[in-house]
Amino acid sequence: MKKKQQHGGGECPAPWPPAAAAAAGGGPGQGGGFLRRRPLSLLPFLSLRDYVFCMATLLLFCLGSLFYQLNGGPPHFLLALRHCLGNSTYLDDHGPPPQKVLPFPSQVVYNRVGKCGSRTVVLLLRILSEKHGFNLVTSDIHNKTRLTKNEQMELIKNISTAEQPYLFTRHVHFLNFSRFGGDQPVYINIIRDPVNRFLSNYFFRRFGDWRGEQNHMIRTPNMRQEERYLDINVCILENYPECSNPRLFYIIPYFCGQHPRCREPGEWALERAKLNVNENFLLVGILEELEDVLLLLERFLPHYFKDVLSIYKNPEHRKLGNLTVTVKKTVPSPEAIQILYQRMRYEYEFYYYVKEQFHLLKRKFGLKSHIRKPSPRPEFFIPSPLETEEPINDEEEDDEKWLEDIYKR
């Protein structure tokens, strides 16, 4: 009896019968049965006919998808099939889709102008940041608005790396983030009548506010007593440095920027400030119309300012807000006020420009401008813009488009 042939320590498989080999597509001696069956070994449950049918179906599906795209729509038979099955849509089952949400600005800078209601707004922001969960970034530096190039780079880096969404606030002149390779944030600000701002600052430096008379001692510890009690009319009429330029040229640099010429009273700084307002500021409001400013901020930046007006009108907040009112203010003589107007002519031209833009914005959103008795103005100023008396509704449909354009800047 012959011994069985050993191969690698095991028995060799018995050869396929000739009939099986022929059915697999090969002949004896060619190994056709084993080699030709290999491509289908991954799908052992499909016959060759089933495999061909699947491939043909896939090809038809691809051709159908191509036909759909080339003709810009579904084939007619699919539309007819939908008609037969019913016209149920996503809206029927799930209701209307959520209202369109505009692109959300996650970086906001409030480079607040001094003595323009900024402490009141910061109090509101502290409440709102806890309520809405955004990151309120403040600064302990209050008296450094002009920065060197390195200081600008360092501050922009610190702001840009803050956790988003953030709102950064500080007394600082406009910063051009894109100049240093950063993403330009959305800017907001508030200004007020320049003479009123100057008077508020003049007496605040000397006597503080209702939070405590010791505050002014902390801010101006080296001020001599004769300077602290200097009569405002004497300061203006005798041209003391505090009551003359360039100290009176205060508001425009917050919008002009860090260029040295932004600190020089003149047309160049004025025009550059106007340009930045148009290109980089979402809103520049007027303190005399603060409630309307808050309404527009809530409309433009709801993630930050939702419910801000109700918080502002809350009696508890009113108590805190009243503590920030400057004390011991007196009104200069008409002669002194006229001199201030002459020295602050560029400040007033900018103020009335911003006020005009603000009233146009209020008209666009259907808000009334409160007509108040105008303060005296010198003759060289352009007439104040017409103020809105009635809301206008025919432009409301463009509101979202206008906001989209702002966010794309």
Tell me which of 171, 259, 303, 317 is the catalytic residue: 171
Q: How far apart are CA 86 and CA 148, in angstroms?
A: 70
Tell me the C-alpha distance between 229 and 223, whole Å: 10
> Alpha carbon of 363 to those of 193, 326, 390, 396, 404: distances in Å?
21, 32, 8, 10, 18
Annotated catalytic, 171? yes
- 191: nearest Cα among 77, 110, 272, 295: 110
Is the N-terminal amide bond of 15 cis, ω within 30° of 0? no
- Between CA 102 and CA 104 the distance in angstroms is 6
State the pairing for strand pair 10-11/6-7. Answer: antiparallel
Q: Which helix (H) or strand (E) holds 108?
A: strand 107-110
The residues, ordered by sequence, that sit 6+ positions from 394 with a Cβ below 8 Å of its Cβ are none
The C-alpha R_g of the chain, in whole angstroms, comes to 37
Contact between 378 and 338 under an 8 Å Cβ cutoff? The reply is yes
Annotated catalytic sites, by residue? 171
